[in-house]
Structure 1
Amino acid sequence: MSSTEIHNDKDIALFHAISDTEKHKSDNDKEVRLAEIAMSERTAKIEIESKAHNLEQEKDFRLTNILDVNFDNILAVWFYYYHDNTGA
């Protein structure tokens, strides 16, 4: 082998080594990006579940308030009706 061929072989080997390194770096970057996306999706899912839970609690609170107000109104109407009809 001539020195030019040896030099070319070293350049080719170096090129392949650099290419492999860049490929691994690119693969690692993709894995990191996928992990970031997965974490973002998990965070979004947790936020959505939290908001849904809060809305459910708010709905229950409003329903309870409505039922309490209606029950109080029913009691007041019954009391006045009973009071007026019994002459008490």
Structure 2
Amino acid sequence: MQDRQRVTATTLALIHQNQVALGEAIQLISAWFQRHGVSEVTGSLQAHLELLVNNSLLINSRLAGLLEPAAAADRQPANDPG
């Protein structure tokens, strides 16, 4: 069961990394728009990026909770029931 939890947690971590990378790309696009005077787009993008950052912090916290039990199990001796 711990292997399944580890696979789930690492898969979610990879999905989250993709989400963060997309957010960073959107941030760069937003900065380009702002430099070129397209402020109506940047205001809209900033609101969505704020949501992305807030959710990212929560996801990081919850992923840490999923990954920690699996890491602790790896450190436990094989004959130690727990």
TM-score by length of 1: 0.41
Q: Which has the higher contact order (CA 8 A, sep 6+)?
A: 2
Query: Structure 1 or 2: larger helix share?
Result: 1
Q: Which has the larger radius of gyration?
A: 1
